[in-house]
Amino acid sequence: MPENRRVYLDHSATTPADPRVVAAMLPYLTEKFGNASSVHGFGQEARAAVDRARREVATLIGARANEVVFVSGGTEANNLAIRGVCEAAEAHGRHIITSAIEHSSLRGICEALEKRGWEVTRLPVYENGIVKVEDVQEALRPDTVLVSVMLANNEIGTIQPIEEIGSLVRSERQKSPRNIWFHTDAVQAAGRMELNVETLGCDLLSLSAHKLYAPKGAGALYVRRGVRLAPQNLGGHQERERRAGTEGVPGIVAFGEAAKLARQEMDQRAAHEVRLRNVFEKGVNERVDDIVFNGDPAGRLPHVSNISFRFIEGEGLLISLDLQGIAVSTGSACSSGTLEPSPVVIALGRNDELARGAIRFSFGKDNTEADVDYVLELLPRVVEKLRQLSPLNKLRKLEPVSVE
């Protein structure tokens, strides 16, 4: 085994740009550098490329091209969706329904709205990490203007019942015509499962390019025709007045190419990732005791595996693996003597120890079986070494793990 082997198992954080995506993008950094808003030939060349990319991104999610607003990434898409809808609908009500396991950007936006007097209902997830549609139904109020539930979770990969929530919101709107919209954050799900905004029944949907083998810096918000959205970037006519600022043409072109490849290769990528994940999870289960798998085993994205290792702390495991060239991530953060255990793992009803010991392994299209073998060889050793140094190790085998 070569000493400097590197295995990247953090594709939920970001992905490398696909060489085909880079090739599509490069001309727009140099000879085709025009501003897409310019009237001359340079500008028109850039405009045409942005329009092509818009069609590709729209096709990936079954939308019309003019319903796609390009932004800088998933966080901006979420900001534009939530703040844009809330600002426009404020006169009709100030209540939002969301879930307890949203991405930190959604959490941050909701907290900021609460400070300004909005009320936020955070739906629980159960041990499987999935929201119940009945809970959405129960949380709906006459002053609810927005429901935002992510399509698939970024830490445990669980897929939420978006179609059911979508039809619930739609029927609510039909019952008494009013401003109530449904947003879903599809940043993790896009390119990893079939997405169609009509089937999903969502009014807004967030996407990010760099989770799809394109560079960082581009994203998109799908905005269904008829949704009232207050722009959050002002001072320009770009993106049909919904997002002022010169379009990041190279990043958008890359996003379009990546969306096309994701659509064409989705099935084979997903099958590959599931195969690797199955080998990985079976191997970990055989070689490491006192572990708990987090998230619904069946209802989750193909590439995510989240495991809590008892008696040790995720950050120690992360750094130990990093020193061996293996990149993973943890949802917990220990900082300035305060610990923020992963809110997602806590929402599953796990205790602090399991939340602290949770690690996310996320596979990608370029991982190989040799990568999995390497991790399976090192992981048990690294876990054992940390456990030998843990004062909690004495609890081993004494208490049964109370979940699953």
Partner 1 sequence: MPYSQIFKNHFENPRNGGELKGADVVAEETNPVCGDRLRLALKINEGTIEAARFLAYGCPPVLVCGSALTELIQGKTTEEALLVTRKQLVAAVGGLPLRKQHAAALAIETLRSAIENKKSGGKPTFPT
The residues that are catalytic are 334
How far apart CA 105 and CA 79 sit, in angstroms, is 8
Q: Assess 395 for contact with partner 1 (CB under 8 A).
A: no
Q: Assess 380 for contact with partner 1 (CB under 8 A).
A: no
DSSP state of 193: B
Q: Which is nearer to partner 1, 182 or 309 (CB)?
A: 309
Least distance (Å) between residue 328 CB and partner 1: 14
Among 3, 391, 400, 404, binds partner 1 (CB under 8 A): 391
Least distance (Å) between residue 395 CB and partner 1: 11
CA-closest candidate to residue 42, choices 242, 249, 240, 243: 249
CA-closest candidate to residue 202, choices 165, 253, 230: 165
Q: Is 146 left (phi over 0), alpha (psi -120 to 50) or beta?
A: beta
Q: Assess 316 for contact with partner 1 (CB under 8 A).
A: yes
How far apart CA 131 and CA 139 sit, in angstroms, is 12
Q: Which helix (H) or strand (E) holds 339?
A: strand 338-340
Binding segment for partner 1 among 65-73, 233-241, 267-275, 352-360 (CB under 8 A)? 352-360
Least distance (Å) between residue 8 CB and partner 1: 19
Instruction: Name the residue with tokens 């370029």.
Output: 366
Binding segment for partner 1 among 206-214, 237-245, 267-275, 389-397 (CB under 8 A)? 389-397
How far apart CA 108 and CA 375 sit, in angstroms, is 34
Q: Assess 351 for contact with partner 1 (CB under 8 A).
A: no
Binding segment for partner 1 among 165-173, 274-282, 306-314, 372-380 (CB under 8 A)? 306-314
Q: Which is nearer to partner 1, 253 or 317 (CB)?
A: 317
Least distance (Å) between residue 338 CB and partner 1: 5
Q: Which is nearer to partner 1, 22 or 334 (CB)?
A: 334
Q: Assess 319 for contact with partner 1 (CB under 8 A).
A: yes
Phi/psi for 19 (5° steps) reads -55, -35
Q: Which is nearer to partner 1, 96 or 379 (CB)?
A: 379
Binding segment for partner 1 among 42-50, 62-70, 105-113, 319-327 (CB under 8 A)? 319-327
Binding segment for partner 1 among 257-265, 278-286, 294-302, 388-396 (CB under 8 A)? 388-396
CA-closest candidate to residue 260, choices 53, 97, 106: 53
Least distance (Å) between residue 313 CB and partner 1: 6
Least distance (Å) between residue 333 CB and partner 1: 9
How far apart CA 212 and CA 224 sit, in angstroms, is 22
Note whether 50 and 252 are within 8 A (CB): yes
How far apart CA 207 and CA 74 sit, in angstroms, is 6
Residues within window 325-344 making contact with partner 1, judged by CB under 8 A: 334-339
Q: Assess 323 for contact with partner 1 (CB under 8 A).
A: yes
Q: Assess 356 for contact with partner 1 (CB under 8 A).
A: yes
Residues within window 170-189 making contact with partner 1, judged by CB under 8 A: none
Binding mask 3-42 for partner 1 (x = CB under 8 A): ----------------------------------------
| Chain centroid offset of residue 135 CA | 22
Q: Give percent helix, percent strand, percent coil of the chain, each to the nearest 5.
A: 45, 15, 40
> How far is residue 299 from each of residues 31, 130, 183, 296, measured CA to CA in Å?
46, 9, 20, 5
Note whether 120 and 113 are within 8 A (CB): yes
Among 8, 213, 255, 311, binds partner 1 (CB under 8 A): 311
Q: Assess 312 for contact with partner 1 (CB under 8 A).
A: yes
Among 392, 396, 401, 402, binds partner 1 (CB under 8 A): 392
> How far is residue 205 from each of residues 91, 121, 135, 154, 192, measured CA to CA in Å?
23, 20, 21, 15, 15
Detail the DSSP E strand segments found in 68-188. Answer: 68-71, 95-99, 119-123, 144-148, 181-185
Report angle CA 61, 217, 109 to the nearest 5 degrees: 75
For partner 1 (CB under 8 A), the number of binding residues is: 24
Least distance (Å) between residue 323 CB and partner 1: 6
Contact positions vs partner 1 (CB under 8 A)? 311-313, 315-316, 319-320, 323, 334-339, 352-353, 356, 386, 388-393
